[in-house]
Amino acid sequence: MNNRNNLSAVSALLLVAALALPTGNAAAQDATSVAGTYTPVVATSFGDNPRGQLILGSDGHYSLNLARATLPKITAGARGKGTAEENKAIVGGSIFHYGKYTVDAKEKTITFNVEASTFPNWDGATFKRPFKVSGDQLTYTDNAPSGGGGPHDVVWKRVK
């Protein structure tokens, strides 16, 4: 085979391989491409201007924390000495969990496998969420919000 035939064969092979790859959002929505650090934009259960961070590691580990824009200070100044009202407001206004996550680009879902949470009922739970990525925003539908209520979208913006 001469060089021209080799070049033609390689070009044809590359074209076939390129056509077999996913395109558009499906290609963008995998664990590697969503990996990063995000801040909350919209989290209905946590009111206006929620605070927090979602870290999606390229290794499949995640950490998520969300809180209302303001939480009450504990008057006594020690974590273990909050009043019933202070503790209720803090627990109701914040959530943290971590574990492992997977992305299914075909189904357009992100699955959180919770190892531990500040809401202990979620320890060991698995949550599969429909999601999409648009520019720097990752949005998923929370169908089991920690604060109760119905399903709603949670919107995160990638930190640059």
Could you give the CA distance from residue 20 to residue 38 in angstroms, rounded to a whole number?
31
Predicted local confidence at residue 39, as pLDDT: 98
In which band, very low, low, confident or very high, does the pLDDT at 33 lie, cut at 50, 70 and 90? confident
Q: Does the structure show a pLDDT above 50 at 144?
A: yes
| 67: nearest Cα among 81, 88, 47 | 47
In which band, very low, low, confident or very high, does the pLDDT at 151 lie, cut at 50, 70 and 90? confident
Could you give the CA distance from residue 53 to residue 69 in angstroms, rounded to a whole number?
13
State the amino acid at position 103 in one-letter form. V
Q: Residue 30 is part of which domain span?
A: 24-158
Residue 12 lies in a domain: no
| 24: nearest Cα among 134, 150, 159, 119 | 134
Residue 128 lies in a domain: yes
Give per-residue pLDDT as tens, 88-113: 999 999 999 999 999 999 999 999 99
Q: What is the domain count for the chain?
A: 1
Q: What is the pTM of this model?
A: 0.78
| DSSP H/E element including 91 | helix 84-92
Bridge partners, residue 61, by sequence: 100
CATH of the domain at 38: 2.40.128.50
Residue 9 lies in a domain: no
Lowest mean pLDDT among 42-51, 131-140, 143-152: 143-152
Q: Does the structure show a pLDDT above 90 at 13?
A: no
